[in-house]
Amino acid sequence: MFSEPGLYLVYGYVHMNKVYNPSDSDAWRALQKLAMEYRNDYILDYFDGDSERVDHYSIDLDGLYADFSKHLINDEIRSHLQQLAEHSPLYERRDAMFAGESINNTEHRAALHTALRDPDFDNEDVATLVVKQLQQMSDVADKIRTGRWLGVNGDPIKHIVNIGIGGSELSPKMALEALREFADTELSFHFISNVDGEPLKTLLGRLDPGSTLFIISSKSFTTKETMLNANTAIAWFEQQTDIAEPLGAPNFIAITASHDAALNLGIPESQILSFSDWVGGRYSLWSAIGLSVCIAIGPTRFHELLAGAEQLDEHFMHAPIQENLPIQLALIGIWYNNFLNAESLAVIPYCERLTFLPDFLQQLDMESNGKQTTLTGSLTDYDTGPIVWGQTGTNGQHAFFQLLHQGTRLVPVDFIGVISDAMSTDTHHRTLLASMLAQSAALLTGEDNEQPHQQYPGNKPSTTILLNTLTPYHLGMLLALYEHKVFCQGAIWNINSFDQWGVELGKRITTELLNNPKNQTLDPSTKALLKRTNLD
């Protein structure tokens, strides 16, 4: 096992002078054989052989419950999956991450988002910085919520426009929608990310500049999409107010890890909220990037969100492997991805307020683990991240569930439900939950029918995750659960889950197309399309 701290290297892990490769391990080879042996088993037979299977294959943690008994996994398979995890760098990379070591080797920095929700973090400098940044965010949120943050004309803020992209937009939008039960109804929130000019133009046409606050969220403060939208908003504000230096007005706030870049652009010191460069974009909700959420639900509730995530962090760090929820969910995913040839994962929340959760998890998973290069720079000889997709139920039942039930592809499903929901009526909520449970049951059991087109094969796997309530605390737990699940899979695959170099090439070519459309190195198709779209 990888148990010696001295074996941790900047560019990967070695054991007895051998580079770690999961597909070379005994556990991996055993799982390949087990896949051939058990792939045609019926999951229902596992219940017949174990009357307590639900208890053995479920975990209950402080208002978050996960049932993974409906999977094509038996005790022998689970044992070898756990061996795969235990003989991988998972534990060492986990400990290194929580300790603040530079585990993001290609960008030479830590991935220390967990420190943002840990009031007792062991590094005093980091802990002090986190407290300072969170306090600044809380102070700004309080002033806006109480009407003490005034716009350029002396009007209280009524509209908050978050301009960002990726995690700087999707994370707070997802969380704010999920927690609108707790949001201040006197404030309206808007999110702009796409460089398509229509959404911003339409939005600006409805806003009063004096009572609008623009939050420009960019880690580098050079992100092209964000700065293009920000410059459009700045020009509109200047035109509407006749102010020569609009960024000096209290109607603009910068959230960035590049403090000086925002300052040089003209945003006053008091209107710049900082976070550290060790906070990755898709892990940034817990930082100042979550300002719009903190404004909406208030600092107290925002700290409950952090507390829920911190509870899951503690569980991940200390729970034994068979009771460790993120590890178990990660291993289930690896079983299907690497041994049963399932290429995708469907995430179906049965709660309309979680409408953006599948999008959020798609970014979290596919941007983190969509990699073909290991920590040592070699190409993998195994598949890594799955294709993640989904939609809220019951809408999904009338869209793609046909494929899940009677299609030819193996698609594991994560069902996510809320047991008690004060935002719904009893009749609606009972129907919603019954629909979710019925779909998971139908996928599992199927149904025989003499008519082939009405035959349900069943034996389709799913996990059901239940939250007692959709509070900030439980949302924090749920999001941290998926963060750590993705991390566990990346560690077992020996890839860096914290960079995203794959998006850079397209960005560079965009710049080249705009600046030099006559570039002769372009392929013939792109040259023809440039001409047809009048970009040449």
Q: pLDDT, tens digit, for every residue of 420-445?
A: 999 999 999 999 999 999 999 999 99
Distance, in Å, from the CA atom of 318 to the CA atom of 338, rounded to the nearest integer, reads 27
| Active-site residue identified among 398, 428, 512, 531 | 398
What is the per-residue pLDDT for 516? Answer: 87
Average of per-residue pLDDT across 8-36: 76
> Each residue of 52-74: pLDDT tens digit?
999 999 999 999 999 999 999 99
Q: Is the pLDDT of residue 1 over 90?
A: no
Q: Is the pLDDT of residue 261 over 50?
A: yes
Stretch among 178-192, 263-277, 515-529 having the lowest mean pLDDT: 515-529
What is the per-residue pLDDT for 520? Answer: 74
Distance, in Å, from the CA atom of 516 to the CA atom of 301, rounded to the nearest integer, reads 50
Average of per-residue pLDDT across 192-221: 96
Q: Reply yes or no on whether 323 is catalytic.
A: no
What is the per-residue pLDDT for 18? Answer: 55
pTM of the model: 0.95
What is the per-residue pLDDT for 536? Answer: 86
Distance, in Å, from the CA atom of 192 to the CA atom of 181, rounded to the nearest integer, reads 22
Average of per-residue pLDDT across 110-122: 94
What is the per-residue pLDDT for 255? Answer: 97
Distance, in Å, from the CA atom of 342 to the CA atom of 255, rounded to the nearest integer, reads 39
Q: Please give the domain boundaries of the chain with CATH numbers for all domains.
A: 5-101+319-447+455-493 (3.40.50.10490), 113-303 (3.40.50.10490), 501-532 (no CATH)
pLDDT band at 14 (very low <50, low <70, confident <90, very high): very low
Distance, in Å, from the CA atom of 493 to the CA atom of 89, rounded to the nearest integer, reads 9
Average of per-residue pLDDT across 380-387: 97
Residue 146: C-alpha distances to residues 162, 250, 322 (Å) = 19, 15, 47
What is the per-residue pLDDT for 517? Answer: 82
Contact status, residue 358 vs residue 414, Cβ threshold 8 Å: no
Q: Reply yes or no on whether 405 is catalytic.
A: no
Average of per-residue pLDDT across 366-384: 96
> Each residue of 488-523: pLDDT tens digit?
999 999 999 999 999 889 988 998 898 888 877 889
Q: Is the pLDDT of residue 9 over 70?
A: no
Average pLDDT of the chain, as a whole number: 94
| Active-site residue identified among 101, 225, 310, 367 | 367
Strand order through the sheet with 12-15: 8-9, 12-15, 18-19
Q: Reply yes or no on whether 527 is catalytic.
A: no
Average of per-residue pLDDT across 243-269: 95
Average of per-residue pLDDT across 148-166: 97
- Which residues, 6 or more positions from 389, have their beta carbon under 8 angstroms from its beta carbon? 344, 345, 346, 347, 358, 362
